[in-house]
Amino acid sequence: MISLILKSFRHRWVTSMVCLLSIALSTGLFLGIQQIRNSARESFTDAVSKADLLVGARGGSLPLLLYSIFHLGQPINNISYSTFEDIEKHPAISWAIPYSLGDSYHGHRVVGTSNALFEHYHFRGDNKISLKAGNYFSRPDEVVIGSVVAKKQKLKVGDPIILTHGVSSEGIFQHDQTPFKISGILNSTATPLDKALFITLQGMELLHEGWESGVPPEEQTQLSEEEMNRLRPNQITSFLIGLKSRMMVLRFKGMIDQYKNEPLTATIPALGLQELWNTVGYVESALSLISLCVLAVGLMGIFIALYSSLQERRREMALFRAVGAGTFHIFLMLIGEAFFLVFMGLIFGLALNYLALYLINTWFIDEFSLFLSLKAPGTSEFIFIGSTLISGVLAGTIPAIKAYRQSLQDGLTVQL
């Protein structure tokens, strides 16, 4: 009987395909949104862990988080280095990682920081930054690069590179004057770190030495190592801190928010991300709603397709009955067809979902250096699949009941 349903399906393939595709589309869309949301959240959340507070100039905590950790967007205001030094000294602080942003190398962010980054930055739980080759920087004119940068720009330890002022990929001014040397290449972390270059805060100053007027200095500035070490950073963009005790977080945050010398903002990274999810949540809900509408169209399509085929099927049903089919068989055949349509729709939808995720993933890695993990369908997916199947069978029930009644009435003689 299943082969009979398949052949009947082939016969009515145009309408069947429309139903099938709309179910596939909605399944793909719905599951895709869920999966992208979950794994995007996961990978965003995984990008930084074990950090208690992120501190920057007074402003929104989400932008602060986005440009400091995810290298998205531009910092607007800096904070003075002395503020950093002052807070860093506080006895409650276990570690602090400064960030000085604003430069780029072929579109990759250049991050001015300190060795604290390599020592204390955690991601995906317990993971720490590690070297694939070379050493961490020990001089202001040394640079450590992320794995993606190394791969894309075909760089290796010892190569000299020229860093650019500004963050566009074609820097307006090239810092031709100060070539940096690659001291180390990091292992891949699957976080935005992979796409960044790291120099010391002094290195950052070195980069801008003589730029006080806003344009490149006219004469070549060649500093001796001694002169370099004497450079003192003026400003940084933000800093990440880990406290000795988690219990201190809120009190410390309050303290920083009321810091006297300079207006500051402190944010708990996880809470900052929550703000992001709230913003993105509207889009997600809208897309989910759209996909549910597409699903409803598909289910209604099945209902209409089956219902409107009943008249033309009356002779078929009489034939089935003549060769021994009962009215219950007729009922089952229609239910079976609805089930088959939904089932195939779901299979195609799942395939579509994973294909789309695969494609989006490549783009996502490129754009954010975040990986979406392709997961097997989980509970919420199975709930969706299950309820879609049930709805499909329900959509087939009314036509099936009608067919049952019809074949009971027609028997073997169809009067048209």
Partner 1 sequence: MGDDWRKRKRSKMSAIQLNHLKFHYTQGPLVLDIPELKIEQSEKVFIHGPSGTGKSTFLNLVSGILSPSQGDLLVLNQNLANLSAGARDQFRGKNIGYIFQSFNLIPYLTIKDNILLGQHFRKSDFNIEHRADQLAKDLNISAHYNKKATQLSLGQQQRVACARALIQKPQLVIADEPTSSLDDKNTIEFMNLLIKEWEELKFTLVFVSHDLTLARYFDRTIALEEINKVVSI
Ligand X SMILES: Nc1ncnc2c1ncn2[C@@H]1O[C@H](COP(=O)(O)OP(=O)(O)O)[C@@H](O)[C@H]1O
Burial grade of 10 (CB within 10 A; 0-12, 13-18, 19 or more): exposed
Contact of residue 318 among ligand X, partner 1, none (CB under 5-8 Å per partner type)? partner 1
CA 133 to chain centroid, in Å, comes to 29
The owner of tokens 């201190």 is 248
Please say which residue, 4 or 398, places its beta carbon nearer to partner 1: 4
Percentage helix, strand, coil, to 5, in the chain?
55, 20, 25
Tell me which residue of 44, 116, 106, 103 sits closest to 74, measured CA to CA.
Answer: 103
Per-residue contact flags (x/-) with partner 1 for residues 352 to 371, judged by CB under 8 A: --------------------
Residue 133 binding result from partner 1, ligand X, none, given CB thresholds of 5 to 8 Å by partner type: none
Q: Supply the minimum distance, in Å, between the C-beta of residue 338 and partner 1.
A: 18
**Smallest gap from residue 147 Cβ to partner 1 (A):** 58
CB of 416 to ligand X, least distance (A): 12
Residue 4 in the binding site for partner 1 (CB under 8 A): yes
Task: For the CB of residue 410, give the shortest distance to ligand X in the complex, in Å.
Answer: 6
| Residue 413 touches partner 1, criterion: CB under 8 A | yes
Partner from ligand X, partner 1, none binding residue 325, C-beta < 5-8 Å depending on class: partner 1
Stretch of 96-104, 121-129, 347-355, 405-413 lying at the interface with partner 1 (CB under 8 A): 405-413
Instruction: Kindly determine how many residues on this chain lie close enough to bind ligand X according to the rule CB under 6 A.
Output: 2
Decide whether 2 or 376 has the Cβ nearer to partner 1: 2
What residues have CB less than 8 Å from 67, skipping those under 6 apart?
73, 74, 75, 101, 237, 238
Nearer to ligand X, 1 or 408 (CB): 408
Residue 293's CB: how many other CB atoms inside 10 A?
12
Q: What would the two tokens of residue 321 be?
A: 């009955």
Looking at 74, 168, 285, 409, which residue binds ligand X (CB under 6 A)? 409
> Of these partners, partner 1, ligand X, none, which one is at the site of residue 321 (CB under 5 to 8 Å by kind)?
partner 1
Compute the least distance from the CB of residue 376 to ligand X, in Å: 53
* Residue choice 217, 263, 281, 326 for contact with partner 1 (CB under 8 A): 326
- Please give the C-alpha separations between residue 3 and each of 7, 145, 336, 364, in angstroms, as whole numbers: 6, 60, 11, 43
Which helix or strand (DSSP H or E) is residue 184 part of?
strand 173-186
Annotate 47-85 with b (16+ C-beta within 10 A) or e (fewer).
Answer: bbbbbbbbbbbeeebbbbbbbbbbbeeebeebbebebbe
Considering only residues 286-325, where is the footprint of partner 1 by CB under 8 A? 315-316, 318-325
Closest separation in Å from C-beta 399 to ligand X: 20
Instruction: Map residue 282 onto helix, strand or coil.
Output: helix
Q: What is the C-alpha to C-alpha distance for residues 138 and 189, in angstroms, rounded to an integer?
A: 22
Q: Where are the alpha helices (DSSP H) in 116-211?
A: 116-120, 147-152, 201-208
Nearest approach in angstroms of CB 329 to partner 1 is 6
**Are the C-beta atoms of 127 and 189 separated by less than 8 Å?**
yes
328 binds, among ligand X, partner 1, none (CB under 5 to 8 A by kind): partner 1
For ligand X, the binding residue among 220, 224, 379, 413 (CB under 6 A) is 413
CB of 314 to ligand X, least distance (A): 11
- Which 3-state string (H, E, C) describes 62-115? HHHHHHHHCCCCCCCCCEEHHHHHHHHCCCCEEEEEEEEEEEEECCEEEEEECC
Which residues are 164's β-sheet partners?
104, 174
* Count of residues near partner 1 by CB under 8 A: 25
Q: Does residue 337 interact with partner 1 by CB under 8 A? A: no
Cβ proximity to ligand X, 220 vs 413, nearer residue? 413
Q: Least distance in Å: CB of 296 to ligand X?
A: 36
Q: Taking the complex as a whole, how short is the minimal distance between the CB of residue 336 and partner 1, in angstroms?
A: 12
DSSP state of 13: H
Residue 323 site contact among partner 1, ligand X, none (CB < 5 to 8 Å, cut-off depends on kind): partner 1
User: Residue 376 binds which one of partner 1, ligand X, none, with CB within 5 to 8 A depending on kind?
Assistant: none
CA angle 48, 106, 69 (to 5 degrees): 15
Dmax (CA) for the chain in angstroms is 106
Residues that bind partner 1 (CB under 8 A): 1, 3-4, 7-8, 10-11, 315-316, 318-329, 411-414
Contacting residues toward ligand X, per CB under 6 A: 409, 413
